[in-house]
Structure 1
Amino acid sequence: MTAESTPEPGIPGEADSGPRHRRERGRRRGLSVMAWTAAGIVILGGTGAGCLYFKLNGNIRSVDINQALGTDRPDKADNGSENILVLGSDTRSGANRKLGGGTDDGSARSDTAMIVHVYEGHKKAGVVSVPRDTLIDRPECTDTRGVTHDAAHGVMFNSAYSTGGAACAVKTVESMSGIRMDHYLEVDFAGFEKLIDELGGVEVTTTRAIDDEDSHLKLTAGTHTLSGEQALGLVRTRHGVGDGSDLGRIQLQQAFIKALVEQVREVGLFTSPKKLYDLADTVTKAVTTDSDLGSVKTLMSWAAGLKGIKASSMHMVTLPVRYDPADPNRVVVLETKAQQVWTALANDRPIPKEATEGNATGEADGVVTAS
């Protein structure tokens, strides 16, 4: 996974028809909706694996974000709560080239970002999705190769990863929120698709038909067990639902992740050691972590602490935004409401309802539900 890549098309000032009206580039959407829950599978795959532990351990890629960012960061919480930045990336190499289109140039972009707050006691979580089209002020940051990147004003949120990789993405989120990111998880879409297939699919219910030629997804209204290819199509769909914006796609992702959480919680019903190992092998190949989680042992230990979180215990919201009056293909942060969200998480409290009301939504809520 490269820390640096070609700047993201669509950054203000470049020719781009915008996310609400342009075709979805490269079919690379929503690739990390399973990363933090998928980590739990490593526990099952690692148990009893014996010498296979070393193979799983060698699968995991990690980045030393702490060294790159140094000490000029928000303080860690002292009550046992945790914050995890989960990103989906579309590396342009290997199996992802076929799924994402484009050239095999090894570059990568982030297309999904979720800030997961695990509350004290690790029985519930708050999840804040950050739209990739959000205009933000990106801070100066140093990537994991030691290269410093200048600050930038009024650029798209996902330019942070395109510019300086994982370290700059974490720096940007910490700058926006004032909250320390304790961990980092990234997943690529080839691994996402394979994981869903190895789980035997994920069951969801659609309240109306979805037909999106850009993501190649066609679903009738009703209950479906989605294959990996269909799941990938669902989490990258935008033109087939709501107002066609990135915000609508986020609503589909949030519904899917709840269905996936319940599916992952049932993995313990499997009795085949080979099945468990195959799942663990897939997950460890698909994820990139911060260096603190860069081994099967530490990832297993950390993931064990998340097993008590059910879909019903997850409060999923989108960062409060509105469409940019100067460009409806971008969104801008509603600062007062966003601060309510950050203050709640910083104090390990529930996200207040008023922070999520009256914001731009994408109009796709309720189209997909967990079965």
Structure 2
Amino acid sequence: MSADSTPDPGIPGPPRGSGARHKAKGRRRKPRSRRRKALLVAAWSAAGVVVLGGTGAGVLFFKLNGNLQSVDIDQALGTDRPDKADDGSENILVLGSDTRAGGNGKLGGGADDGTARSDTAMIVHVHKGHKKASVVSIPRDTLVDRPECTGTDGTKHPAEHEAMFNSAYSTGGAACAVKTAESVSGLRMDHYLEVDFAGFQHLVDDLGGVQVTTTKDIQDPDSHLDLKAGAHTLDGEQALGLVRTRHGVGDGSDLGRIQLQQAFVKALMQRVGSLGLLDNPKKLYDIADTATKTVTTDSDLGSVNSLMSFASGLKGIKPGGMDMVTLPVQYDPADANRVLVEKDKATQVWGALKQDKPIPADATEGGAKGGADGVVSGG
């Protein structure tokens, strides 16, 4: 993702190799006229959160087009891709990335060296009729066979056996990330959305915070997070800390962090749906301004009109209509910091989505979890 001070999101920083494996231990109001269309308020955080919310909007500002950044995925990948679905369903790769530059370097807790990496990845399958969605989180530490790909800047990158999933983005940017997601899932990615750390924090602040309830104390100095068990209204910095923490709850793995992210996504959607933005044009504009600065899209969504049309088709999806799961994995016995795909169960997950069916419950039972389920809920 990129903020105003960061490089073009399609140009990756130096690659992060996976390295050798080691042995180790309210009710929504109707628009008042036909000019009022739906505007997407979307923020899917790099360090870990994905948010998709459609909200009624009565504004169309020319300035918002200038905020948007896009990358031409289709041109970079060519025709050697899975077929598009013909049943009205859509697949969207949502990435959260950390460029380690400018404001993001400070928020990321790492060096301000300009390198790019993806810390969160979700494949969102919007079912036919656009009333429900299935979201599959892919752990960043998953070992996959990364395919040969051409980056968004035109550089060709060779295939790599047993690479970390998130290395695709740091190696070849958005185009290689999409190519790898399609290779892993067998699904055609119809769209691409990316969000940065700073933009996510600002979006939550523009929303006036997000309400969550925690069942345990969560403390993580690395994420600057200190929450007692109970109800909280998180500001942007706290929300960013929550979706990034991996040491403050559960088993300390990326899997636990994903469970926190999925809970926060639903809380954020509830917050967006409760604001009554049509009655507050100033807040609506502020949120739209931040959201369009925050997201990077594929070129098909690279204008406010396109985003509005896209959002209009998604506004029927409510928090209760989102089934959020994690790709079935097991801890790698050769390296406790990596996970391996449970191939039979993963085949069930991707097969269901390819047929536009709900993900079977038994496909995600067992396996590595992370230990943070139920720690955070909305409200």
- Answering whether residue 276 of structure 2 is matched by residue 260 of structure 1, we say no
Say whether the 8 Å CA contact 1:35–1:187 is kept in structure 2.
no
| CA deviation profile, 1:5-50 (whole Å, cap 9, x unmatched) | 12226x13289999xxxxxxxxxx853524533xx35x62xx334x
Structure-2 residue corresponding to 1:112: 120
- Answering whether residue 19 of structure 2 is matched by residue 12 of structure 1, we say yes
Say whether the 8 Å CA contact 2:12–2:171 is kept in structure 1.
yes
| CA deviation profile, 1:202-229 (whole Å, cap 9, x unmatched) | 1011011111121111111111110000
Alignment of structure 1 residues 163-242 onto 2, 5 Å? 163-242=171-250
Query: Which of these residues, 354, 359, 375, is aligned with residue 346 of structure 1?
Result: 354
| CA deviation profile, 1:308-346 (whole Å, cap 9, x unmatched) | 111111110000000001111110000000000000000
Structure-2 residue corresponding to 1:361: 369
The secondary structure found in structure 1 opposite 2:359 is: coil
Q: 1:90 to 1:30 in 2, by over 3 A?
A: closer
Unaligned runs of 5+ residues in structure 1 are: 19-28
1:71 is matched by which residue type in structure 2? T
| CA deviation profile, 1:102-128 (whole Å, cap 9, x unmatched) | 444432110000000000010010000
Using the alignment, how far apart are the partners of 2:189 and 2:48 within structure 1? 17
Query: Which of these residues, 321, 327, 333, is aligned with residue 313 of structure 1?
Result: 321
Say whether the 8 Å CA contact 1:35–1:287 is kept in structure 2.
no
- Answering whether residue 109 of structure 2 is matched by residue 98 of structure 1, we say no
* Superposed CA RMSD: 1.8
Deviation at 1:191, TM superposition (A): 0.3
Using the alignment, how far apart are the partners of 2:277 and 2:284 within structure 1? 10
Using the alignment, how far apart are the partners of 2:277 and 2:95 within structure 1? 29
Q: 1:96 to 1:17 in 2, by over 3 A?
A: farther
Using the alignment, how far apart are the partners of 1:77 and 1:367 within structure 2? 36
Deviation at 1:101, TM superposition (A): 3.7
| CA deviation profile, 1:118-158 (whole Å, cap 9, x unmatched) | 00010010000000000000000011121110000011000
Unaligned runs of 5+ residues in structure 2 are: 1-8, 26-44
Say whether the 8 Å CA contact 2:218–2:227 is kept in structure 1.
yes
- Answering whether residue 93 of structure 2 is matched by residue 48 of structure 1, we say no
2:320 is matched by which residue type in structure 1? S
| TM-score (ref. length: structure 1) | 0.91
Deviation at 1:240, TM superposition (A): 1.1
Using the alignment, how far apart are the partners of 1:258 and 1:35 within structure 2? 8
The secondary structure found in structure 1 opposite 2:119 is: strand
Percent identical residues: 69
Using the alignment, how far apart are the partners of 1:240 and 1:165 within structure 2? 30
Say whether the 8 Å CA contact 2:50–2:261 is kept in structure 1.
no
Using the alignment, how far apart are the partners of 1:93 and 1:220 within structure 2? 32
Structure-2 residue corresponding to 1:288: 296
1:229 is matched by which residue type in structure 2? E
Using the alignment, how far apart are the partners of 1:242 and 1:101 within structure 2? 21
Q: 1:156 to 1:291 in 2, by over 3 A?
A: same
Deviation at 1:268, TM superposition (A): 3.2
Query: Which of these residues, 74, 84, 95, is aligned with residue 92 of structure 2?
Result: 84
Using the alignment, how far apart are the partners of 2:259 and 2:185 within structure 1? 21
Q: 1:204 to 1:4 in 2, by over 3 A?
A: same
Deviation at 1:281, TM superposition (A): 0.5
Say whether the 8 Å CA contact 1:2–1:107 is kept in structure 2.
no
Say whether the 8 Å CA contact 1:5–1:108 is kept in structure 2.
yes
Deviation at 1:304, TM superposition (A): 1.2
| CA deviation profile, 1:41-65 (whole Å, cap 9, x unmatched) | 5x62xx334xxx2210010000000
- Runs ≥4 residues deviating over 4 A: 14-18
Q: 1:102 to 1:212 in 2, by over 3 A?
A: closer
| TM-score (ref. length: structure 2) | 0.89
Using the alignment, how far apart are the partners of 2:116 and 2:163 within structure 1? 18
Using the alignment, how far apart are the partners of 1:161 and 1:17 within structure 2? 26
1:361 is matched by which residue type in structure 2? K
Using the alignment, how far apart are the partners of 1:85 and 1:359 within structure 2? 24
Say whether the 8 Å CA contact 2:59–2:285 is kept in structure 1.
no
Structure-1 residue corresponding to 2:52: 36
Using the alignment, how far apart are the partners of 1:333 and 1:95 within structure 2? 34
Say whether the 8 Å CA contact 1:32–1:86 is kept in structure 2.
no
Q: 1:30 to 1:61 in 2, by over 3 A?
A: closer
Deviates more, 1:69-78 or 1:257-266: 257-266
Q: 1:131 to 1:176 in 2, by over 3 A?
A: same
2:378 is matched by which residue type in structure 1? A
The secondary structure found in structure 2 opposite 1:364 is: coil
